[in-house]
Structure 1
Amino acid sequence: MRWTLKPAPDKEKIEKLAQDLQVDSTIANVLFQRNIETFEDAKNFFRPSLDAIHDPFLMKDMDAAVARIETAIANNENILVYGDYDVDGTTSVSLVASYLKTITPNIATYIPDRYAEGYGVSYLGIDFAHDNDFSLIIALDCGIKAIEKVSYASEKNIDFIICDHHKPGPEIPKAVAVLNAKREDCTYPFDELCGCGVGFKLIQALGVSRDQTIEDFVPYLDLVATAIAADIVPMNGENRVLAYYGLQVINQNPRNGIKAIIHQTKKTVLTITDVVFIIAPRINAAGRIKHGNYAVELLTEMDFDSAVEFAASIEIFNADRKELDKRITNEALIQIIDNKEEERFSSVVFQEDWHKGVIGIVASRLIEKYYRPTLVFTKSGDKLAASARSIKGFDVYNALEECSEFIEQFGGHKYAAGLTLLPENYQNFKNKFEAVVERTIDKKLLTPEITIDAAIDLSEITPKFFRIIQQMAPFGPMNMKPTFTSTCVRDNGYGKQVGADKTHLKLTVFQGENQKTYNAIGFNLGAKMALVNDEFDIVYALDENEWNGRKTVQLLLKDLK
């Protein structure tokens, strides 16, 4: 691991902020690093307000989108709400469809089959719309590159409204409206909404003529918060406000589907991390193992007992997903070793029987072992399909653009993308991708980096200090949980490796003459037990541990040396 201490902001400014807020200078320093520089900034950060939600009509094409939907409602047209099969797509569809059903009964939903249709808008989906007399399709979390598909629909007298957040290509589809804050000609003040966030702006805009205020839309924010967490979009600006209120809905009055998932886990209060690791994988498992429709049915179910039954089925899909992901990861690791590819700058692996639903997870697992840009391919019809994942600081989308001569289709973000190619192009693509990564990557990026907010003494960790850190949640990109380093700490002699295969580290640490001890847990750091025999330095975040009804602060170790 590379330990990088963030540069400390101007000392006088920090002292002033600390004084204004009545907090210590470490807290002021952490806030400054999040661009919170004044009392007003801090107030907006610690007390997110629904007033900070932007006017949806600031988004280009929003007026056209709303006008077309209103016409469809007035004319009793059938509207098909179409979305991708991942968490962002299925929550978007659930959100927009459940709102539209409060206005008109002529609403149906469509999630493409991961295997038969693949990612995004499909010809099969458009044919389904045509055969069933739908004259308007609202595409969510996809569609920004569906140039030919939108033309095909238009020949069949089907209009499109696209709500997407993926990077647009050089041409925008000729739809009735294309809502995407990443469009170069869109001046919407925040361009990091997820797909469900764009869907939320659409229903918010539809509510204006119905005299609905932002408060009327708060019940939908459990879906938006789930999508924000799962899609790993920046946790600042409008996203942070939506996630903050969405978490409150999840914890106080969630829709039946989310309540049913929580009901199975026996959790009482969920953080954004719980949403990422408990709710999102279960919603995702439906599209990965069976069909994304299951997730939409779960998330729109009005009867709690039925939702519990859906959640139980999805729990089985999730268990199957875990098994598959473990097996395929092992096969991929063996392939890398057998092909003597441990020293490359990228990992590109392929096996035709790998389950398409888990290759994205497998790519992330491979990065845990070989920290470098990674693609995992499987057979999909007569083509090969891959999930690409990247490492901090390297834009995999740009790298794929450089290999486009060998690719049939691709789309995504800086750190995650999907693509298809013809089998005969696989080896050429693999060679080219490796060459592009080797040429363009800053070699230091190949060592994982821990960015540290501040160096502190353990004695600074008081109940008040911890309470303020907790109030900085929800955490995510651009507002990560603060990370600290403390030097020359010792273990009290009872440190040990824990876990079934001794992979984790459990320590009780103290520093200098101060004999106050702090419990520390280091997941997957068991191999570093040898460093614990004398003074050592640690990097950690702060966490709350609950044992026998008693809550204590513990250090969540990220590394030690």
Structure 2
Amino acid sequence: MEYIWKQIPRSNEAKIDDLKKAINVNAILANILIQRGIESFDEAKYFFRPSLDSLHDPFLMKDMDAAVNRILAAIEAEEKILIYGDYDVDGTTAVALLYSFLRGFYENIEFYIPDRYHEGYGVSEKGVRYAADNGFGLIIALDCGIKAVDKVALANELGVDFIICDHHTPGEKLPAAVAVLDAKRSDCNYPYKELSGCGVGFKLAQALSKTLGQDEQKLYQYLDLLVVSIAADIVPITGENRILAYFGLKQINTSPRPGLEALKNAGHLQESITISDIVFKIGPRINASGRLEHAKSSVELLISESLMEASELAKAVDVVNNNRRNFDENITREAFAMIAEMESSRAWNATVLYKEDWHKGVIGIVASRCIEQYYRPTIILTESNGKATGSARSVVDFNIYDAIAECADLLEQFGGHKYAAGLTLQVDKVPLFQERFEEVVKSRIRDKHLIPVIEVDDEISVDEINPSFYNILKQMAPFGPGNPEPVFVLNNVRAENVVVLKEKHIRFEILQEGQKTSLVCLAFGMADKAKDPQQTTKELLESKMSFSLVGEIRENVFRGNSSLQIYVKDIKFD
């Protein structure tokens, strides 16, 4: 796949010079910081030295008083409380966090995770009736519920109160719950709008802790769960999320709860855990249960109190994750074959695929794989309970939720946001939806949306990549949405010592005219990548041709020795 390299406009030189002097960094680092909105000594201090004292007062969130008062009343009356959460990583970590916190001083609680296949996403009628039939007076919904108007109305009829802790965009009407905690409410003045669902649950726990006069330090033991939700749910790692993620990573790396330690062991994660490790190694394992079986087992793992128990649960989760990976690979191959067949007859701006026997639990992953390969808005549908249900994923700057909304008359339900959504429709309407969605996308999409972009922070030379530079650069972590890992371009370089690893990756060193040192580069999956009809990337590198590359600077530690490398994202030959 070809990429456009988009250089982020360089900051004002006077600002760069001022910040460079104020915090004693070089111009490249000062430029990157200013691009992230950090222009003064105080802003740099807040960024580089996160503090839990900077967390916002939870009572700034609309309805927090009502939520705390209702929970305390339930505890006083010894009511049964049901902690209800979605089946994904954000939902299960949120349930594990609030359940564990409340269990520390109140025992009359249970948790409930809806079945992906029989109940679907969000608050279900079955879940509400379960609460009513089993004597629960209060449901606390986490990472869902903001649009559950009918289900909350049913709960009210059955004598069950609701507290909603959600982070999704509300609809036109809010559910008639005792409290609706969601910073995205138009009438909520909470300063930070991008908390995860687990983050909203944490703010509720924080408010309860303050009200009860508890030592807030005890609350911070749950930050390892919170950073997993922040990473896996791809929320911005800015503001309050960055503080929570920073200390959550410290927790998960030094004294994680048994369930997360067991998952680290299952994923063979021995070095310092990063946001990326959570996204690719820990998150999928937690998600696997909800995708193929029942996410209740993920919560049981996350709340387990001994490493022995957690290790057994993690082994079972790992088996499910391996099965998930097999489903993923097989369905992806089938999807690619279907796309190739479609393209043989006409050009498409969007991909909508349906096959009745695809596993519902992995179609979101398959949609992402299709975008990686073909880079256009994609919806993957399968049959579930007699209907077509699907997951949608989008490309940069294209709002797939709005495009789906234009087809609402064909759908039974849909929800989501700019880059990811879910939908359900009658099976016989799939062909009509496919054509309609294609027309909507065709009318909205532009050429720029269909070519993936690599944003480049700054140009750098080989000699400038040294330990002192990297020591400051790595303090900009944790990286993620809103604070991406810096990407650099190196121009006019040549390669030597080119080696192919595992038949698909390339390791090589680069030299640059006028520079004293060389630098090791790793280009994953590029060994056979053709850069022109005649030659592969490997052959062009060996030709000593001059080229430019973009990539991220990483530290390699081997047998106690540390060295810096470039993880290559793309190469362009002169």
TM (norm. structure 2) is: 0.95
Q: Which residue of 1 aligns with 2:115?
A: 113
**Do residues 333 (structure 1) and 336 (structure 2) align?**
yes
Say which SS state the counterpart of residue 516 (structure 1) adopts: coil
Match of 2:98 in 1: 96
Pick aligned residue for 1:429 from 425, 428, 433: 433
What SS does structure 2 have at the residue aligned with 1:160?
strand
Structure 2 equivalent of residue 529 of structure 1: 538
The residue number in structure 1 matching 2:384 is: 380
Secondary structure of 2:518's counterpart equals strand
Give the drift of 1:458: 1.4
**Residue 547 (structure 1) shift:** 2.5
- Output one character per residue of 1:285-305: Cα deviation in whole Å (capped at 9) or x when no partner: 111121100100000011221
Secondary structure at 1:368's aligned position in 2?
helix
Unaligned 5+ segments in structure 2 are 530-536
Q: Which amino acid aligns with 1:441?
A: I
Runs of 4+ in structure 1 over 4 Å off: none
| Aligned residue number for residue 372 of structure 2 | 368
Contact 1:83 1:141 survives alignment (8 Å): yes
Counterpart among 483, 489, 512 of residue 485 in structure 1: 489
Q: Contact (CA 8 Å) 1:289, 1:321: kept in 2 or not?
A: yes
**1:267: how far off?**
1.3
Residues 1:163 and 2:165 aligned together: yes
Match status 1:460 vs 2:464: yes
Task: Give the deviation of 1:266 after TM superposition.
Answer: 4.6
Aligned: 1:47 with 2:49: yes
On the 8 A contact 1:166/1:411 being kept in 2, the answer is: no
2:404 is aligned with 1:393:
no
Aligned to 2:321: 318
Aligned residue for 1:495, secondary structure, equals strand
What does residue 175 of structure 2 align with?
A: 173
Write the letter of the residue equivalent to 1:422.
Q
Residue identity opposite 1:550 in structure 2: N
SS in 2 for 1:545: strand
Distance in 2, matches of 1:307 and 1:542, equals 35
Inter-CA distance 536–284: structure 2 relative to 1 (3 Å threshold): same
Q: Residues 158-190 of structure 1: CA distance to partner in whole angstroms, max 9, x if unpaired?
A: 111111111111111111111111111111101
**1:553 is aligned with what amino acid?**
L
- 1:124-523 alignment to 2 at 5 Å? 124-264=126-266, 265-340=268-343, 343-492=347-496, 494-499=497-502, 502-523=503-524
Q: Distance in 1 between matches of 2:186 and 2:560?
A: 53
**1:515 to partner: Cα distance:** 4.5
Instruction: Deviation per CA, 1:349-373: give whole Å up to 9, x if none.
Output: 1111111111111111111111011
Q: In the aligned structure 2, how far is the partner of 1:497 from the partner of 1:440?
A: 42
Distance 2:69 2:465 in 1: 55
Residue 87 of structure 2 is matched in structure 1 by 85
Contact 2:414–2:422 (8 Å) recurs in 1: yes
- Quick one: distance in 1 between partners of 2:375 and 2:538? 22
User: Matched residue of 2:390: which SS?
Assistant: strand
Calculate percent identity across the aligned residue pairs.
Answer: 49
User: In the alignment, is the contact (CA less than 8 A) between 2:92 and 2:295 conserved in 1?
Assistant: yes
Partner amino acid for 2:546? E
Residues 1:28 and 1:214: Cα distance change in structure 2 (over 3 Å): farther
Equivalent residues of 1:409, 1:421 under 8 A apart: yes
One-letter amino acid of the structure 1 residue matched with residue 177 of structure 2: A
Give the whole-Å Cα distance in 1 for the aligned partners of 2:67 and 2:405.
Answer: 31
Deviations 1:464-500 (A, max 9, x none): 11111111100001100000001110002x213322x
Give 2:532's aligned residue.
none
**How many correspondences in the alignment?**
558
Q: Deviations over 1:36-70 (max 9, x none)?
A: 00010111101101111100111111111111111
Q: What do the CA deviations read for 1:528-554 (whole angstroms, capped 9, x no partner)?
A: 324423000000101112233322111
Shift of 1:263: 2.3
Query: Equivalent residue of 2:198, what SS?
Result: helix
**Which amino acid in the other structure matches residue 323 of structure 2?**
D
The 1:427–1:213 alpha-carbon spacing in structure 2 relative to 1, beyond 3 Å, is farther
1:9 aligns with 11
Equivalents in 2 of 1:39, 1:213: separation in Å?
A: 32
Q: 1:348·1:376 contact (CA, 8 Å) conserved in 2?
A: yes
Answer whether contact 1:86 1:284 (CA < 8 A) is retained: yes
SS at match of 2:343: coil
CA distance in 2, matches of 1:537, 1:214: 51
Distance 2:519 2:52 in 1: 38
Partner Cα distance (1:349, 1:427) in 2: 10
Does structure 1 conserve the Cα–Cα contact (< 8 Å) formed by 2:510 and 2:521? yes
Q: Does 1:555 align with 2:554?
A: no
Give ranges in structure 1 of 5+ residues lacking alignment: none
**Cα deviation, residue 401, structure 1:** 1.4
The 10-residue stretch of structure 1 (212-221 or 329-338) with the greater mean CA deviation from structure 2:
212-221
Conserved? CA contact 1:111–1:292, under 8 Å? yes
1:546 paired residue number: 557
Query: What letter corresponds to residue 53 of structure 1 in structure 2?
Result: L
**Contact 1:50–1:214 (CA<8 Å) still a contact in 2?**
no
Q: Which residue of 2 aligns with 1:31?
A: 33
SS in 1 for 2:349: coil
Most deviating of 431-440 and 224-233: 431-440
SS in 2 for 1:386: strand
1:236 touches 1:478 (CA, 8 Å); kept in 2? yes
CA-to-aligned-CA distance 1:295-353 (integer Å, 9 cap, x gap): 00000011221101000101111111111100000011111112337731111111111
Q: Could you tell me how far apart the structure 1 residues matched to 2:176 and 2:538 are?
A: 60
1:371 and 1:471 map into 2 onto residues whose CA distance is: 33
The answer to whether the 8 Å contact 2:192/2:240 transfers is: yes
Q: CA deviation at 1:397?
A: 1.4
Query: Aligned AA for 2:243?
Result: V
AA aligned opposite 1:144: I
Asked whether the 8 Å contact 2:466–2:564 carries over to 1, the reply is no
Cα offsets for 1:127-169 (capped at 9, x unmatched): 1111111111111111111111111111111111111111111
CA displacement at 1:261 relative to structure 2? 1.1
* Alignment partner, residue 533 of structure 2: none
